[in-house]
Structure 1
């Protein structure tokens, strides 16, 4: 077995720090040697008897290629890109009594066949070829290496995300021949955008336009994405669309089928099941289909001859992978657009700061409708401040002020009314009515809750709290900081007893509701589509979303409001949105004007002044205090890097589900942020990766690194 000093080589990237680390770790002399002819008495392949393999081992100090001998019986099937089984680990190099021992069988991929190895010792042989299907192309390998380097991760971890598990039945089924390119579609609803028809014409003509698309409210966005895909296919190239969830993928899938017919695209979602999803993935890899649409994992889909990559609603948290190295779909598609020199489309009803930066730097052009079209398509937005809510007598029933009552009554005359609540459940959080201090348990400082028909209870330790009083002001009166969806539904049901009330949330998400009077209470992101659009929408507890200690709090609140408002009929049809939030706040004003692009530009300007992402590149480093201090001291950070912190992290509660990045229960961890200016992001990732690899080789305490953390609040 052999370790490749040039682990990534010219084609796969890598830095001098990594090369030095690998040389120090392996500590084995390497001299050119002749190609092997036998192994354990068995003949080896006559031509190209050495296979270079990437093994499924995600530890960073082993992030390199390894050489194995190819037995003669595997010569025909051991092609680059196929899955193999190899011996790896302690003792895999040893020969005892004339036979090789040690090492356990693990999976890997052949990346290259070679005539000779420059490793001086004996080579272990490939144990088996799992499948003759070449699933790892050179293009996919290069993309995986680029993603690993950008996010300071290992190639093996990225390949686990990029290549789905094998399904033998799906692999055995032949894929049909690809259909001929379709005719270029007409502009359709793209005519509503100033440069929409020109964008489609550029794609159909073989061009590679790059655009940030601010979609108009309404149900047409899926059909417009399908038209962009069809225009790309008409040029003889492929297209890939990534959406946040299965519901969005189903809408684009339906639109593509209606526009192109069956068999022209692959649907890549977890809901399809492992066999069907792998069959669809193989169809894209084999070239049987030239288009793909799916959720986060589809960002690596091996669509051939890419002409367009598109991502919808890029700020949705579902686009951020939770498994190492935690890449973001938008950034992966940006890498693909740059590498394949293909078109790029970032779309959404809202606009992120990252999207505004792409336009500000000139990398992409804006694709938006004129203001008069925006005003006609968007609903009328009215605001109610928290102070007005407290003084309004009507708000004592169902927490609705008079303006909201009126909007609900008017809306229920012509159709369903949407009520967006920031939280699911009953009453997730309570606070002092006088000073608004959070109500916490005396024993563990956990948040107090008031489940239905029960006294106060701690959400962490489960103890009852019968005699609570505020530690700040002494008051004994509580108010709901955020009332959950089920509680809101109960209150609305009492307020409108003749109207059906439906709920949609994490436990049960409604796909759609009919065009009949009804109250639909939903958490953000779970709003069902109403046939013909909602007559009105109420956006409750806006201050709860705006008050989160997060850099993206305003941006995320505006996105959720605009997403809900986009399901409401336009102002010309009587659609109304009432948002309960302080009217003077910037996100609320952006919602009233329906101007997400202006909000994103102002956010970008402020972040540029403060040096916050995406203007700067940032990494979050977490771990035990001593380990974190030693790690930062050993990392060869760029000279322009700035270390912020470290600061202690909240201790994880043993009784609550752990999120990615949370410290182990009962352990005290700290977090430091490392910030670099534009142009130094690659150097920062390389330095952190090299430091992690050295720590991994020495067996030190775990230190976690996340490039571009979504939460730096």
Structure 2
């Protein structure tokens, strides 16, 4: 028995000695300043930990570690190593060095801090967007070396940019190592992905890296193919979430290690740790997919422009239309204009057909548009853009036009197919015995048709013609050059081989009727993106009010003039971009508390509260507006509000700075 006790005591002494040896601090820079992954605003700072000698080589700046925090093991990143600490007591040691891979680049860590301050969030939330999840097996493999591609062809690049001035000068500046900043409005029928690839090639010729952000995976694939054609294979990476965790982490490591210095991707790629960053590009910056839906809600455009400013890189904000933010960059002199010349803007003919013609005939598509579609099918495919997804998403009384509502829950009635009875979009109750509560009539009409019903009507009027749809979860990336009709919702339009012979824009009034600050700007963007898919010499017909300013801008292909008008009107009304807005949303009591605690800067206006959301789950929202010059002060006040509320454990509210919609 005594022998067992002595053996147990000996083992205990050995364990204590081993742990003491493991806890022995490192001889060089024994202090690690760690950013702990805790999404609490009042804890968004670094904490000092002791670096055990056994972890000295692994706990490098940028590496993942495990630390003891608030009684539990949590993740963190080492931001720096130091010789001493300001903490007067004994430092807790690091629990574990997860990996010696420095995944957090210093420039990305600094960017995360600045974005957190601007959007009143925390660095840990930003870094969740910036750094993908670890894949240990992938991390052990070396990143393949970059293949040598073809030399930069300046003449081919300048020929591709012909018609967009001063495109050639912009490319030369990039190739010489300069950092020009431009806002670019592309002409219709332009292969914008190819032009971006040439701009990236010019940057690579100067020995620098490039970062291109586009709205969705369809656009990533298009730029990916263009970069391969211009630069050669295996010269860049495409960062998207749908490739799987192993491939995504491998591509991220290739960029972080410097094996690849050219990146294309969606909004998360804006944080890619590109070495020697020389160019940042955001395409179609008005697309709402560039607005991050998770806290702290940064926008891709603002993230990239901030990177360009911090890292001295060139910037290119492009699209077929110009946003008011792009116009503001030009007005302030931060960027210069890249615009299409008159001949390039006239590559596609745009006309507006009065929708009154179709209504007078009791139909939806005017006769002139039917004739255009029939004639164009002889030369190639035709694209028809319709704003609504589905079959018939809204019904109304055939006689008095009263909207048809569900007798059970008052939800809107809709049709899901040609043979199904009307049913409620909220509760699903069938309403085959519906009668109008106003006039008693039982007939129904469809004021708004979806893409499925549109395709059905076109198929009936064009017998023998292939009609395809692209919308929702069935989005086509490309279609062939054979004659066919493609019905697509905005953003889901496939690229046709050789371009479309004609493009038809239906129900333009529906996009313009949205109650939103950006309704007209967004409508023009969606129309222009579809119209730009036409081939040179193709025709575009928009069904709507010919006198509407947005449709007139489309006819003239004048995104610059439209953006200038919108910006002037917003500045006169003290709306963005002339002002900085923030919304505070949550339970009514929590919002009231937040407004009371907010120490707003001088000149701030508090608008609201108003009730938002569905009737069964309504929240309260307040809008805070300040002049643009006080925008930094508003962000600082909101960040302090977050810290106070976090430390006092008050009910959560959602704060968004510069929300994309109101």
The answer to whether structure 1 residue 562 and structure 2 residue 525 are counterparts is no
1:477 offset after TM fit, Å? 4.7
- Map of 2:605 onto structure 1: 642
After superposition, the C-alpha distances for 1:533-557 in whole angstroms (9 at most, x for unaligned) are 1111111111111101111111111
- Map of 1:410 onto structure 2: 375
| Other structure's SS at 1:76 match | coil
Q: For the aligned residues, what is the CA RMSD?
A: 1.9
User: In 2, distance between residues paired with 1:249 and 1:556?
Assistant: 21
Cα 1:184–1:384 shift into 2, 3 Å: closer
User: Which residue, out of 195, 201, 209, partners 2:180?
Assistant: 209
- Map of 1:464 onto structure 2: 430
1:432 offset after TM fit, Å? 4.5
- Map of 2:103 onto structure 1: 135
User: In 2, distance between residues paired with 1:431 and 1:582?
Assistant: 23
Cα 1:185–1:404 shift into 2, 3 Å: same
Equivalent pair of 2:147/2:233 in contact (CA under 8 Å): no
- Map of 1:625 onto structure 2: 588
User: In 1, distance between residues paired with 2:178 and 2:327?
Assistant: 23
- Map of 1:46 onto structure 2: 27
1:82 offset after TM fit, Å? 0.3
The answer to whether structure 1 residue 339 and structure 2 residue 310 are counterparts is yes
The answer to whether structure 1 residue 329 and structure 2 residue 300 are counterparts is yes
Cα 1:157–1:360 shift into 2, 3 Å: same
- Map of 1:615 onto structure 2: 578
Match runs of 1:265-280 below 5 Å? 265-280=236-251
User: In 2, distance between residues paired with 1:41 and 1:277?
Assistant: 35
Equivalent pair of 1:481/1:544 in contact (CA under 8 Å): no
User: In 1, distance between residues paired with 2:275 and 2:557?
Assistant: 38
What 5-or-longer segments of structure 1 have no aligned partner? 1-37, 90-102, 653-665
Match runs of 1:635-674 below 5 Å? 635-651=598-614, 666-674=616-624
After superposition, the C-alpha distances for 1:56-97 in whole angstroms (9 at most, x for unaligned) are 1112121111111111211111111100111112xxxxxxxx
Equivalent pair of 1:178/1:287 in contact (CA under 8 Å): no
Equivalent pair of 1:264/1:289 in contact (CA under 8 Å): yes
- Map of 2:90 onto structure 1: 122
Equivalent pair of 2:179/2:315 in contact (CA under 8 Å): yes
The answer to whether structure 1 residue 286 and structure 2 residue 257 are counterparts is yes
User: In 2, distance between residues paired with 1:685 and 1:469?
Assistant: 53
Match runs of 1:681-692 below 5 Å? 681-692=631-642
After superposition, the C-alpha distances for 1:624-647 in whole angstroms (9 at most, x for unaligned) are 111111110111011211111111
- Map of 1:162 onto structure 2: 130
Equivalent pair of 2:188/2:344 in contact (CA under 8 Å): no
Match runs of 1:310-325 below 5 Å? 310-325=281-296
| Other structure's SS at 1:43 match | coil
User: In 1, distance between residues paired with 2:383 and 2:515?
Assistant: 27
> Paired residues, what number?
640
1:148 offset after TM fit, Å? 0.8
Return the TM-score normalized by structure 2: 0.93
User: In 2, distance between residues paired with 1:618 and 1:40?
Assistant: 55
| Other structure's SS at 1:526 match | coil
What 5-or-longer segments of structure 2 have no aligned partner? 1-18
- Map of 1:15 onto structure 2: none
Equivalent pair of 1:418/1:536 in contact (CA under 8 Å): yes
Equivalent pair of 1:422/1:482 in contact (CA under 8 Å): no
User: In 2, distance between residues paired with 1:372 and 1:595?
Assistant: 13
Cα 1:582–1:436 shift into 2, 3 Å: farther
Cα 1:195–1:49 shift into 2, 3 Å: same
1:176 offset after TM fit, Å? 4.1
The answer to whether structure 1 residue 448 and structure 2 residue 413 are counterparts is yes
1:372 offset after TM fit, Å? 2.5
- Map of 1:509 onto structure 2: 475
- Map of 1:385 onto structure 2: 354
User: In 1, distance between residues paired with 2:310 and 2:252?
Assistant: 21
- Map of 1:243 onto structure 2: 214
1:115 offset after TM fit, Å? 1.8
1:470 offset after TM fit, Å? 5.2
Cα 1:219–1:71 shift into 2, 3 Å: same
Equivalent pair of 2:383/2:488 in contact (CA under 8 Å): yes
| Other structure's SS at 2:482 match | coil
Equivalent pair of 2:33/2:48 in contact (CA under 8 Å): yes
Return the TM-score normalized by structure 1: 0.87
User: In 1, distance between residues paired with 2:383 and 2:622?
Assistant: 41
- Map of 1:541 onto structure 2: 507
- Map of 1:427 onto structure 2: 392
Q: Which moved more, 1:177-186 or 1:159-168?
A: 177-186
| Other structure's SS at 1:148 match | helix
User: In 2, distance between residues paired with 1:592 and 1:243?
Assistant: 26
Equivalent pair of 1:416/1:518 in contact (CA under 8 Å): yes
Equivalent pair of 2:355/2:366 in contact (CA under 8 Å): no
- Map of 1:372 onto structure 2: 343
1:164 offset after TM fit, Å? 1.1
Cα 1:436–1:705 shift into 2, 3 Å: farther
1:675 offset after TM fit, Å? 0.7
Cα 1:435–1:370 shift into 2, 3 Å: farther
Cα 1:114–1:540 shift into 2, 3 Å: same
The answer to whether structure 1 residue 150 and structure 2 residue 150 are counterparts is no
